[in-house]
Amino acid sequence: MAKMVVARNQQREMERLHPKPTYSRIVMLAFDVVGGVGEKAFAFTEKFGQRLWLLNVQFWFRSKTVGTPCFVTWRIVTCEDEPKSYEQIILVHEPVMHMNYLGLPYMGWHSEAEHFSFDMMKFYEGKPRRFAVGVLNGSAPGLMVMASFEVSEG
Protein backbone atom coordinates (compact mmCIF):
# COMPACT_ATOMS: atom_id res chain seq x y z
CA MET A 1 0.00 0.00 0.00
CA ALA A 2 1.34 3.43 -0.92
CA LYS A 3 1.57 6.07 1.77
CA MET A 4 1.81 9.80 1.09
CA VAL A 5 4.27 11.67 3.26
CA VAL A 6 3.33 15.31 3.79
CA ALA A 7 5.41 17.82 5.70
CA ARG A 8 3.55 19.57 8.52
CA ASN A 9 3.87 22.99 6.95
CA GLN A 10 3.31 21.93 3.32
CA GLN A 11 -0.34 22.99 3.21
CA ARG A 12 0.38 26.38 4.83
CA GLU A 13 3.30 26.95 2.47
CA MET A 14 1.15 26.21 -0.61
CA GLU A 15 -1.54 28.60 0.67
CA ARG A 16 1.11 31.29 1.12
CA LEU A 17 2.55 30.79 -2.38
CA HIS A 18 -0.81 30.42 -4.16
CA PRO A 19 -3.54 32.03 -2.05
CA LYS A 20 -7.07 31.04 -2.89
CA PRO A 21 -9.26 33.79 -4.29
CA THR A 22 -11.43 35.68 -1.82
CA TYR A 23 -13.55 37.58 -4.33
CA SER A 24 -14.00 37.44 -8.06
CA ARG A 25 -15.41 39.47 -10.90
CA ILE A 26 -16.78 38.56 -14.30
CA VAL A 27 -15.60 40.28 -17.45
CA MET A 28 -17.82 39.82 -20.49
CA LEU A 29 -17.03 40.04 -24.21
CA ALA A 30 -19.77 40.24 -26.84
CA PHE A 31 -19.23 40.64 -30.56
CA ASP A 32 -20.70 39.76 -33.95
CA VAL A 33 -19.11 37.84 -36.78
CA VAL A 34 -20.61 39.63 -39.77
CA GLY A 35 -20.70 38.02 -43.17
CA GLY A 36 -20.77 34.39 -44.11
CA VAL A 37 -18.38 31.49 -44.46
CA GLY A 38 -14.76 32.27 -43.72
CA GLU A 39 -15.39 35.50 -41.80
CA LYS A 40 -13.21 35.96 -38.70
CA ALA A 41 -13.56 38.09 -35.60
CA PHE A 42 -11.88 38.50 -32.24
CA ALA A 43 -12.24 40.43 -29.01
CA PHE A 44 -10.12 40.87 -25.88
CA THR A 45 -10.41 42.03 -22.29
CA GLU A 46 -8.61 44.84 -20.50
CA LYS A 47 -5.37 44.02 -18.69
CA PHE A 48 -5.54 42.32 -15.31
CA GLY A 49 -2.99 42.33 -12.47
CA GLN A 50 0.24 40.41 -12.05
CA ARG A 51 -1.27 37.71 -9.81
CA LEU A 52 -4.44 36.29 -11.26
CA TRP A 53 -6.69 33.27 -10.86
CA LEU A 54 -8.80 32.38 -13.89
CA LEU A 55 -11.74 30.62 -12.24
CA ASN A 56 -14.19 30.00 -15.06
CA VAL A 57 -14.68 30.63 -18.78
CA GLN A 58 -18.12 30.69 -20.43
CA PHE A 59 -18.54 30.71 -24.21
CA TRP A 60 -21.75 31.17 -26.24
CA PHE A 61 -22.45 31.37 -29.94
CA ARG A 62 -25.67 31.64 -31.94
CA SER A 63 -26.58 31.95 -35.58
CA LYS A 64 -28.14 35.32 -36.41
CA THR A 65 -30.71 33.50 -38.55
CA VAL A 66 -33.08 31.52 -36.33
CA GLY A 67 -33.20 27.85 -37.25
CA THR A 68 -29.95 27.93 -39.21
CA PRO A 69 -27.24 25.63 -37.88
CA CYS A 70 -23.70 26.92 -37.99
CA PHE A 71 -20.20 25.53 -37.81
CA VAL A 72 -17.90 27.56 -35.59
CA THR A 73 -14.23 27.23 -34.64
CA TRP A 74 -12.73 29.23 -31.79
CA ARG A 75 -9.71 29.62 -29.55
CA ILE A 76 -9.43 31.24 -26.12
CA VAL A 77 -5.99 32.63 -25.26
CA THR A 78 -4.09 34.76 -22.78
CA CYS A 79 -1.60 37.43 -23.83
CA GLU A 80 0.27 40.46 -22.54
CA ASP A 81 -0.44 42.82 -25.45
CA GLU A 82 -3.56 43.55 -27.48
CA PRO A 83 -4.01 40.99 -30.26
CA LYS A 84 -4.00 42.58 -33.72
CA SER A 85 -5.68 39.80 -35.72
CA TYR A 86 -7.50 36.48 -35.59
CA GLU A 87 -4.40 34.78 -37.02
CA GLN A 88 -2.27 36.14 -34.16
CA ILE A 89 -4.70 34.64 -31.64
CA ILE A 90 -4.60 31.26 -33.37
CA LEU A 91 -0.85 31.05 -33.98
CA VAL A 92 1.00 33.21 -31.45
CA HIS A 93 -0.71 33.57 -28.09
CA GLU A 94 -0.77 31.08 -25.21
CA PRO A 95 -3.98 29.03 -25.09
CA VAL A 96 -6.00 29.12 -21.87
CA MET A 97 -6.87 25.48 -22.48
CA HIS A 98 -5.36 23.15 -25.03
CA MET A 99 -7.93 22.48 -27.71
CA ASN A 100 -7.58 20.06 -30.58
CA TYR A 101 -9.96 19.87 -33.51
CA LEU A 102 -8.75 17.46 -36.20
CA GLY A 103 -5.14 18.20 -35.22
CA LEU A 104 -5.63 21.99 -35.35
CA PRO A 105 -5.12 24.27 -32.29
CA TYR A 106 -8.72 25.34 -31.76
CA MET A 107 -12.18 23.95 -30.96
CA GLY A 108 -14.94 23.36 -33.53
CA TRP A 109 -18.67 22.82 -33.05
CA HIS A 110 -21.77 22.46 -35.24
CA SER A 111 -25.07 23.73 -33.81
CA GLU A 112 -27.62 26.54 -34.12
CA ALA A 113 -26.78 27.86 -30.66
CA GLU A 114 -24.48 26.52 -27.98
CA HIS A 115 -23.11 27.32 -24.53
CA PHE A 116 -19.89 25.96 -23.04
CA SER A 117 -18.62 26.30 -19.49
CA PHE A 118 -15.05 25.52 -18.45
CA ASP A 119 -14.01 25.45 -14.77
CA MET A 120 -10.38 26.48 -14.81
CA MET A 121 -8.84 27.35 -11.39
CA LYS A 122 -5.69 28.36 -13.27
CA PHE A 123 -3.11 30.62 -11.62
CA TYR A 124 -1.09 33.20 -13.59
CA GLU A 125 1.76 35.18 -12.11
CA GLY A 126 4.24 37.61 -13.63
CA LYS A 127 3.34 40.32 -16.09
CA PRO A 128 -0.15 41.81 -16.37
CA ARG A 129 -2.23 39.90 -18.90
CA ARG A 130 -5.49 39.92 -20.80
CA PHE A 131 -7.70 37.24 -22.35
CA ALA A 132 -8.88 37.03 -25.95
CA VAL A 133 -11.25 34.98 -28.10
CA GLY A 134 -10.87 34.36 -31.82
CA VAL A 135 -13.80 32.97 -33.86
CA LEU A 136 -14.06 31.67 -37.43
CA ASN A 137 -17.48 31.35 -39.06
CA GLY A 138 -17.69 28.09 -40.97
CA SER A 139 -21.22 28.14 -42.34
CA ALA A 140 -23.76 30.65 -41.01
CA PRO A 141 -24.78 33.99 -42.57
CA GLY A 142 -23.72 35.67 -39.32
CA LEU A 143 -22.94 34.85 -35.68
CA MET A 144 -23.44 36.38 -32.25
CA VAL A 145 -20.65 35.45 -29.84
CA MET A 146 -20.22 36.02 -26.10
CA ALA A 147 -17.50 34.97 -23.72
CA SER A 148 -17.10 35.63 -20.01
CA PHE A 149 -14.09 35.26 -17.78
CA GLU A 150 -14.41 34.93 -14.01
CA VAL A 151 -11.16 36.19 -12.50
CA SER A 152 -9.77 36.90 -9.07
CA GLU A 153 -6.80 39.20 -8.69
CA GLY A 154 -4.31 39.50 -5.86
**Across the 154 residues of the chain, what is the mean pLDDT of every consecutive 10-residue run?**
57 67 86 90 94 93 86 92 93 86 76 89 91 90 93 85
Largest CA distance in the chain: 61
Total-model pTM: 0.81
CATH of domain 36-153: 2.60.120
Report which of 70, 58, 80, 61 is spatially closest to residue 140, judged by C-alpha positions. 70
Amino acid occupying residue 29:
L
Report how many helices (DSSP H) and strands (DSSP E) the chain contains, helices first: 2, 9
pLDDT at position 15 = 67
Give the CA angle between residues 70, 75, 76 to the nearest 5°: 125
Q: 35 vs 24, 44, 61, 107, 120, CA distance in Å?
A: 36, 20, 15, 20, 32
